[in-house]
Structure 1
Amino acid sequence: MVDRRIPKFHDLAPLMQFKKPTFDLKAKRLREALTIEDLRRIAKRRTPTAAFDYTDGSAEAEISLRRARQAFRDVQFNPAILHDVATVDTGWDVLGKRVEQPFGIAPTGFTRMMQTEGEKAGAAAAAAAGIPFSLSTMGTASVEDVAAAAPDGRNWFQLYMWKDRDRSMALVDRAAKAGFDTLLVTVDVPVAGARLRDSRNGMTIPPSLTPKTIIDALPRPWWWVDFLTTEPLAFASLDRWSGTVAELLNTMFDPTVTYDDLAWIKSQWPGKLVVKGIQTVDDARRVTDLGVDGLILSNHGGRQLDRAPIPFHLLPDVVREVGGDTEVHLDTGIMSGADIVAAVALGARFTLIGRAYLYGLMAGGREGVDRAIEILSVEVARTMRLLGVNSLEELEPKHVTQLERLVPRARS
């Protein structure tokens, strides 16, 4: 039997928590995004298909990207209990300077095509969070504009070596004069990968107004308003281009670059030099022997060679081989702070996020990038607490088990 009564007001009052209405719809949708995947869904709704697919897609059958993300999903964490984790320190030194988080923003091309604030939003958000921002050779903001947007930020410049060496090194010189402290030399793009989504979408730089794109634009008028009422999309460090991405890459990039060229570039750069695109232990050792300050295990987000090695799987072997001689960084497939913690536990000194940052940018401009960084930062700290560690230095391989899904067949 249950005794019932009429509720009294003083019992109801604590339960009546009516939220004030909000008229800032962007702030509301970003606040309600709890994961990077939530930001991705918002970005997809708000961005034309061609621009979104350029960001979201990868090469050919997109196997490399799926495998990279699955590798992080196949992590088992091994927590230690009964540790005082009231405070955690999520920062440490990377390439000689402190970062507040073990991740930074990766170089991305054509960024203003995704959202008109582009690289300036990324650089400003990174500076506010105390993490590095990387500007791509194919960026749509100049080195000078990025430096002005984040004068107190830690800015890195990513170099693609072109057939025209003088123009390549002129860009490097501009980056040095603008205060960029690190050069990322990308070595996995002798030619463009086959990015089939872009071909099927007929994507050009800048986007073309065709019946298909106009129909696609109808539910996303805000993107086109930004696109048509701001400075025309161009490579602020290069000339304008009116073809496809693959045509541009194949026209500009030099497939003859060798280790000798890498050594020559190193001799020209006054700051830290990191090689991006390492995919084998042998290459990791060879670039380390050249005296580079760091290397990035990366298959270019799956955008070049499909079925390329999974950077996260390669990480322990590379750390064993060269981790005592140079810093090992990692990108490709990171979608959560837990992914970042797993990489650090297995020896990565630093990680880079590309798509995760761009999903935030497309979802809400500068505020969306802030939200992406906030989501990842909260996840990093929470994962560390749940593992029972107070600092990144305490993370060890024992905290992570890589569950086997793809096991190489024994060679005869």
Structure 2
Amino acid sequence: MNLVPVSVGDYRRIAERKLPRFLFDYVDGGAYGEVTLARNVADFAGIVPRQRVMRDVSSVETSTRLAGTDCAMPLALAPVGMGGMLARRAEIQAKRAADAAGVPFTLSTVSICSLEEIAAVSDRPFWFQLYMLRDRGVVTEILDRAWAVGVRTLVFTVDLAVVGERYRDIRNGIAGGTGRWGQLRSGPLSYLSHPRWLWDVGVTGKPHTFGNLAAYVPAATNPTQYREWVGRQFDASVTWEDIAWLRQQWKGQLIIKGVLSPEDGIAAARAGADAVIVSNHGGRQLDGVASSISMLPQLREAVPDTVSVLMDGGVRSGLDMFRAVALGADGVMIGRPWAYAVAARGEAGVSAMLTAFAREMSVAMALCGVTSVADISRDLVALEGDNR
């Protein structure tokens, strides 16, 4: 019997069946023993909504504004590297779904589809994510390209001075694994065992290049070669002074992604960030660190009110979105959820998932007695152990 997907978990199960093992593990996995990966999700369960009854909730409005962008709900699609390997030109499909839902789509530096391809989808602006590469000339060129196609919100990732140890990727042979088993799990046999993916992505989803980087790595012919180049480009010497330099180059909204301490939040604000994203990179970098949601209140308290605070990591429903806003987030970003959905059902899957998030957010607001995002406050949730 085919599963009718309702939750993110449903889409995950379908994606696991449809994708070659190495690709599913790339999206699904985290660093080391994946403690933080699990913690990101589990810690939401400890945030207890406070139900309120007998309030007029006949008209609930989930719309808000994130980093200068009007949104139908406090949510944006996070950047997902190699997203276009999950379904045919998947970033394009996700952009269409995000446009229809009225939320921002964020394109990754290491996307399969290019800035120019995404800009051609519609006139609705999208966000773009970038790393600080060793070659600052490449950075400025990419920034110019982004601006030229209408990007006005830059999401700059700062928690990748070095790449975390991701055991699943190593086992599968796509991150340093060279054994025969790793080659089998990520090679032709894996493709042939997933014929629908092979046709949809492997045959009709070409080119399999990192569209934003093709001009800088002309000899690369597949995502693995691009990944190796990007890995060499990560600059471990980057400091907040480099972010100040970036602020001078970029005249639009600047969001710093990968902040997990109040001190770094304050430093990001001083460097000129318009917003920060509380994030541990989805548990893919330093395993064992705190969940993003547990650090959110401290970050919100530390940074100036003029700096927006978003969070990502572990958001799996509209109820989680409500919880995050109640703890001080202006909004959330979701990565794995849309990756699972596009792998499972393409654009239609992402659209259905976003519709579910909006509905779940609306229900949570109504049952907690509020009708607008601005009315969601800290007193609408309790932490486990609080007096309720």
Q: TM-score, normalised by structure 2?
A: 0.91
What pairs up with 1:2-401 in 2 under 5 angstroms?
32-149=4-121, 151-203=122-174, 211-212=184-185, 213-226=187-200, 227-238=202-213, 239=217, 240=220, 242=222, 243=224, 247-401=228-382
Moved more, 309-318 or 212-221: 212-221
Question: Aligned partners of 1:390, 1:320: CA distance in 2, in Å?
Answer: 25
Conserved 8 A contact 1:106-1:134: yes
Q: Which amino acid aligns with 1:281?
A: P
Shift of residue 278 of structure 1? 0.4
SS of the residue aligned with 1:85? Answer: coil
Conserved 8 A contact 1:127-1:152: no
Cα deviations by residue, 1:244-270 (Å, 9 ceiling, x for unpaired): 787444312111111111001011112
SS of the residue aligned with 1:288? Answer: helix
Shift of residue 51 of structure 1? 0.5
- Which of the pair has more CA radius of gyration? 1
Conserved 8 A contact 1:191-1:249: no
Shift of residue 402 of structure 1? 2.1
Shift in CA distance, 189/87, structure 1 to aligned 2, threshold 3 Å: same
Q: Which amino acid aligns with 2:210?
A: F
Q: Which amino acid aligns with 1:220?
A: H
The count of residues paired between Structure 1 and Structure 2 equals 374
Shift of residue 306 of structure 1? 0.8
SS of the residue aligned with 2:73? Answer: coil
Conserved 8 A contact 2:89-2:112: no
Question: Aligned partners of 1:380, 1:338: CA distance in 2, in Å?
Answer: 5
Cα deviations by residue, 1:103-154 (Å, 9 ceiling, x for unpaired): 01001110111112311111111111111010111111111110101x2323
Long gaps (5+) in structure 1: 1-24, 406-412
Question: Aligned partners of 1:62, 1:117: CA distance in 2, in Å?
Answer: 29
Question: Aligned partners of 2:294, 2:385: CA distance in 1, in Å?
Answer: 10
Cα deviations by residue, 1:236-292 (Å, 9 ceiling, x for unpaired): 011336547874443121111111110010111121001000010011111112231
Long gaps (5+) in structure 2: none
Q: Which amino acid aligns with 1:189?
A: L
Q: Which amino acid aligns with 1:118?
A: A
Shift in CA distance, 125/47, structure 1 to aligned 2, threshold 3 Å: same
Question: Aligned partners of 1:200, 1:244: CA distance in 2, in Å?
Answer: 18
Moved more, 315-324 or 104-113: 315-324
Conserved 8 A contact 1:176-1:270: no
Conserved 8 A contact 1:109-1:138: yes
SS of the residue aligned with 1:273? Answer: strand
Shift of residue 404 of structure 1? 5.7
Shift of residue 196 of structure 1? 0.8
Shift of residue 198 of structure 1? 0.8
Conserved 8 A contact 1:241-1:248: no
Q: TM-score, normalised by structure 1?
A: 0.86
Shift in CA distance, 82/101, structure 1 to aligned 2, threshold 3 Å: same
SS of the residue aligned with 2:120? Answer: helix
Question: Aligned partners of 1:241, 1:68: CA distance in 2, in Å?
Answer: 35
Q: Which amino acid aligns with 2:197?
A: W
Shift of residue 399 of structure 1? 0.9
Conserved 8 A contact 1:203-1:244: no
Q: Which amino acid aligns with 1:162?
A: L
Q: CA RMSD in A?
A: 2.1
Question: Aligned partners of 1:244, 1:313: CA distance in 2, in Å?
Answer: 37
Question: Aligned partners of 2:189, 2:129: CA distance in 1, in Å?
Answer: 36
Shift of residue 211 of structure 1? 4.6
Question: Aligned partners of 1:220, 1:74: CA distance in 2, in Å?
Answer: 38
Shift of residue 360 of structure 1? 0.4
SS of the residue aligned with 1:309? Answer: coil
Question: Aligned partners of 1:303, 1:248: CA distance in 2, in Å?
Answer: 19
Question: Aligned partners of 1:321, 1:102: CA distance in 2, in Å?
Answer: 21
Conserved 8 A contact 2:256-2:273: yes
Conserved 8 A contact 2:317-2:360: yes
Conserved 8 A contact 1:111-1:139: yes
Question: Aligned partners of 1:163, 1:361: CA distance in 2, in Å?
Answer: 32
Moved more, 294-303 or 224-233: 224-233
Shift of residue 88 of structure 1? 0.6
SS of the residue aligned with 1:328? Answer: strand
SS of the residue aligned with 1:76? Answer: strand
Conserved 8 A contact 1:278-1:299: yes
Conserved 8 A contact 1:36-1:375: no
Shift of residue 324 of structure 1? 1.4
Moved more, 220-229 or 63-72: 220-229
